[in-house]
Amino acid sequence: MEASSSSTSSPPPPPPPSIPASSAWADASPLLDAACRDLQDGELIHGENFSLFGAMSALEIMDPKMDCGIEKSGYYSIDEAIEDGIAPVPLSLDRTLDIQRTLDVMDHLFSCEATWHKGHTLAQTVFTCIYLMRMERTSSHAILNSFCRILRATCYAVVSVVSTARTHEEEDLFTMSFGLPLRDEGDEKCLSILNSVEETIARQLRACKAQALSRKKTLEGLESLQDNPDLEEDYCRALLCRLRFRKHFYHVVTCLRKPHGRGLELARKHVASCLTELSLMLNSRDFLRSQSNNTQQQGDEICTTASGVRPVGFDASLNSRLLSPAPPRAVKLLSWSDAIRYFEKLLRDLDIVCSSPLDPVLENVLHFVVQFQKSVPDLVPRAFLQTLLVQDGKLYGRDLSCDVISRALSLPDIIGDKEFQMNEFVVQLGQLEFALKREFGETRNVLLHENMCMRVSKQLLVWTQEHTYWVAYRFLILGFELDLYSPSEYCMVYWYMYVVLMKLIEQMQLRILATRRKGKKKKDHSKDSSRDTAFPSSCLLLQCYVLLSEGLSMMLAALRNESNSFQLPSIFNSEQEVDWHFDLLQKARLPEHITYYSFRESASHASIADLTKYNFFKEIHKITPSLRGSFASEPEKLAEIRQIEQVAEHNRIALNIISQVGAGDPSLRVSFEFTHHPHFAVAVVKRS
């Protein structure tokens, strides 16, 4: 602010030329002064656009709940921490202790890395390591330096995969790495640096073994890791598995990024090697524990190192100023054992990614993704799958989506016709085709082309609708997996699933019929008229879901009608508004002409008596035997059928009990549990 006291001696400066001379100028300083005096602690002056975001961005300095920059360690900078000796190089002048401490740093970094993968910032996890923040300091310590360098290169590669894939959500902090020394010249050489360190230690290990055999006292020509010859072999082993894990993991990350999935096979070998090294790391724990000072050990649930000793060289609050201006997020590091478990799961998920047959058939790709999702993979493997599937807008960076869809539509005649693809295939559908027909109807040779357009267009429409319903169905069952539905909504959810599934089957059958008709033209007409009625087992499996959905929906509706249970609250709104759950589907008009009233209509007549007469759950048992036969070679599908049968059987029995007791009986308690299937509930009947 300008000096507020205006003296009469000096004339006020002339106004800038942009301001009209006619304006009268007054000194606002006294007014501002008075306003400042009036402003109490906790008050502010704001404009009209002041938002909740603005209000919440204000932080109270020195409030530990809000101020993430508040000093907890007492260090104002990394340099100060280093001067204070919290990250010495070498880690100890005692060479045995130096190796022990190096292993602790490696292990703690491993726990930090897993914690980062699980959704925290790099700054608060891996980069709490001062050795990593000031890597040049470690150049005299080859083991630590090579380890830190390859870890940093790996972090950089993983950030790049996750940013490319964009499978992370807006709330994820994973890729936030501002201000961190994540990349440095020479990191490309990290592998060769690590290899030479590994080679030295491996030689030392061999020498140890040879010495044990020949009982020689000295290790000629080799420099030992530390001073106690009895421990040398175990320390070599402990270091080697950690360094080798880093090497193979780096290979996994780089191989998976190779274009067109060319590195998958090699990546898979490195995944297997990583898993081997992980188990060797676990094996080294007993030795490291036995060597560490017991008084410093932490419990297994919280300790972040194999030895149980807290590592040197870390300061959790040093990077707090690099974080966004927000209250500090609590970071609870995974324990070393949990980190091992995390990496085992990560590697198993990556192994699934590596097992991709790079199948160009869309159905199989979708199936692969659905199967992959079942293991609930974390962010990193999801990102790797995404970058494998879509590169440069093409499937595996190889097949144009246009070709993939052509193949799915089985359109051999047209695939080659690039002009056709450009003009009609992607751009124009349905209505446009009709317009074309009208406009060019006169011209004979256009008509020929146009007939083909019509056929393709129809097929494409059917195919698109089928896949849209498939997505809609997945959208609905995702609600169960995310726990978004309450029991009072189940009735409507299952009804919706039933409607979507019916449509899905309908489109599927249309598509199959269309391809058959096409195929038959070339063959004999009379032979296989019976085949038209037989649809593939995938249709029959959907039929089971239809029966389960309709059965559950009607059972819940009957319970509502007859026992007054599973009612939706009606204080502020009605069931109609709850229907909003399906808002996204409704906006996409999926399915068409389906409204809340269609649901009301079918639910209002539901009764237990009718349900026992036409028992959806019984019907399922008529379908499953033939399904078993056709899925005989697919254990996953067989397991699914078993689950379906269990849900059907439990609900059939529950329905019988309810029917015998009477739904209106006040002692009857019905609840729904997902004990046999993640999406289809089982009714549990109790009497109080």
Partner 1 sequence: MSAAAAEATERGEPSGGGGEIAYVSYGGEHHLPLVMSLVDEELSEPYSIFTYRYFVYLWPQLTFLAFDPKDGKCVGTVVCKMGEHRGAFRGYIAMLVVLKPYRGRGIATELVTRSIRVMMESGCEEVTLEAEVTNKGALALYGRLGFIRAKRLYRYYLNGVDAFRLKLLFPRPDPGMHPMMMLGNERDDQHMDSPYL
Q: Please report, as ranges, the residues that interact with partner 1 according to CB under 8 A.
A: 42-44, 50, 52-53, 55-60, 63, 65-66, 119, 169-172, 324, 326-330, 332, 482-486, 488-489, 568-574, 576-584, 586-587, 595-597
- Rounded to 10°, the helix 229-256/190-214 angle is 150
Q: Which is nearer to partner 1, 139 or 486 (CB)?
A: 486
550 within 8 A of 494, measured Cβ to Cβ: yes
**Which residue number, 427 or 482, has a Cβ lying nearer to partner 1?**
482
Q: How far is the CB of 473 from partner 1 (least distance, A)?
A: 19
Residue 683: name the closest of 465, 474, 422, 490 by CA: 490
CB of 132 to partner 1, least distance (A): 23
Give me the least distance between CB of 51 and partner 1, in Å please.
8
Specify the residue, 220 or 301, whose C-beta has the smaller distance to partner 1: 301
Amino acid at site 377? P
CB 85 within 8 A of CB 101: no
| Max intra-chain CA distance, the chain | 114
Place of tokens 């449509």: 503
> Least distance to partner 1 from the beta carbon of 55, Å?
4
The Cα–Cα gap between 288 and 284 comes to 6
The H or E element spanning position 186 is none
In whole angstroms, the minimum distance from the beta carbon of 50 to partner 1 comes to: 7
CA distance 539 to 546: 10
The least CB distance from residue 66 to partner 1, in Å, is 5
End-to-end alpha-carbon separation of the chain, Å? 76
Q: Measured from the CB atom, is 59 or 471 closer to partner 1?
A: 59
3-state SS class at 559: helix
Neighbours of 89 (CB within 10 A): 17
* Nearer of residues 26 and 571 to partner 1, judged by Cβ: 571
For partner 1, the closer of residues 424 and 489 by Cβ is 489
In whole angstroms, what is the distance from residue 143 CA to residue 222 CA?
16
**What is the identity of the amino acid at 257?**
R
Quickly count: other Cβ atoms within 10 Å of residue 228's Cβ: 13
Residue 326 or residue 370: which is nearer to partner 1 going by CB? 326
Instruction: Name every residue whose Cβ is closer than 8 Å to that of residue 144 and which is 6 or more positions away in sequence.
Output: 89, 91, 102, 105, 131, 138
- Nearest Cα neighbor of 677 from 302, 290, 374 is 374
Residue among 96 and 373 whose Cβ is closer to partner 1 = 373
Nearer to partner 1 by Cβ, of 243 and 323: the residue is 323
Compute the least distance from the CB of residue 651 to partner 1, in Å: 24
Quote the least distance from Cβ 385 to partner 1, whole Å: 18
Burial 637-671 (b: 16+ CB within 10 A, else e): beebbeebbebbbbbbebbeebbeeebeeeebebe
What DSSP character marks residue 129? B
Min dist. Cβ of residue 589 to partner 1 (A):
8
> Closest approach of Cβ 580 to partner 1, in Å?
5
Polymer length of the chain: 688
Closest CB 45 distance from partner 1, rounded Å: 12
Q: How far is the CB of 452 from partner 1 (least distance, A)?
A: 34
The angle formed by the CA atoms of residues 239, 245 and 250, to the nearest 5 degrees, is 130
Nearest approach, Cβ of residue 60 and partner 1 (Å): 5
Please choose, from the candidates 194, 190, 191, 232, the residue with its C-alpha nearest in 3D space to the C-alpha of residue 210: 232
The token pair that represents 3 in the structure block: 């000096």
Q: Which of 31, 55 has the CB closer to partner 1?
A: 55
The answer to whether 685 touches 669, Cβ cutoff 8 Å, is: yes
Residue closer to partner 1 by CB (options 52, 427) is 52
Q: Which is nearer to partner 1, 172 or 351 (CB)?
A: 172
Q: How far apart are CA 458 and CA 511, in angstroms?
A: 10
Q: How far is the CB of 75 from partner 1 (least distance, A)?
A: 24
Q: Collapse the DSSP code of 314 into the 3-class scheme (helix H, G, I; strand E, B; otherwise coil) and give the result.
A: strand
Strands 682-687 and 668-673: antiparallel
At 591, which amino acid appears? P
Question: Does the CA dihedral 17-23-24-29 come out positive or negative?
Answer: negative
Give CA 233 to chain center in angstroms. 41
Nearer CB in complex with partner 1: 306/585: 585
**Of 682, 656, 371, 657, whose CA–CA distance to 548 is shortest?**
682
Q: Residue 396 CB, nearest distance to partner 1 (Å)?
A: 28
- Cβ contacts of 30 within 8 Å, gap of 6 or more: 4
DSSP code for 399: B
Least spacing, CB of residue 435 vs partner 1, in Å? 24
Helices within 397-486 (DSSP H only): 401-409, 412-415, 418-420, 430-440, 444-481
| Tokens linked to 72 | 């907890």
Give the nearer residue to partner 1 in terms of CB position, either 50 or 434: 50
In the bound state with partner 1, the residue whose beta carbon lies nearer, of 325 and 357, is 325
Least Å from the CB of residue 229 to partner 1:
47
Tokens 């440069």, residue located: 392
Q: Provide φ and ψ at 668, rounded to 5°.
A: -80, 130
Nearer to partner 1, 249 or 469 (CB): 469
Q: Tokens 């439990």 identify what position?
A: 650
Judged by beta carbon, residue 51 or residue 529, the one nearer partner 1 is 51
8 A C-beta contact, residue 120 and residue 177:
no
